[in-house]
Amino acid sequence: MKFRRRTRYKDPVNPITEVKNGEIEFRNVNFKYEDDSEENNLENINIKIKAGETVGIIGSTGSGKTSLVQLIPRLYDATNGEVFVGGRNVKEYNIEALRNSVAMVLQKN
């Protein structure tokens, strides 16, 4: 079984170094851990969360909650589709600036 490694990120030329606001949007996002898997772990995700909103993501074990959240700071990259923070694609940011601007609160540590 081949697992998708966490991507080795390279900052884009002239990366964005500041997240202007906390709006988060997923546009037609698919994700799978295994590159050669026929099935996606997440499929056709479309969400828009306004800055300042509090959102709870609930579901059974293995339903993709953590995978979804890990796409925001680019701990993983979407297989297809786009993830936006502050109205900009997460791939446009300096990775350190992006990750310093994102926080997650997990139910169990």
* Per-residue pLDDT reduced to its tens digit, 35-91: 888 999 999 999 999 999 988 888 998 899 999 999 999 999 999 999 999 999 999
pLDDT, position 9: 73
Q: What is the pTM of this model?
A: 0.87
Q: What is the pLDDT of residue 49?
A: 96
pLDDT level of residue 34 (50, 70, 90 thresholds): confident
pLDDT of residue 6: 55
Dihedral of alpha carbons 27, 99, 13, 8, sign? negative
Retrieve residue 41's tokens: 């772990």
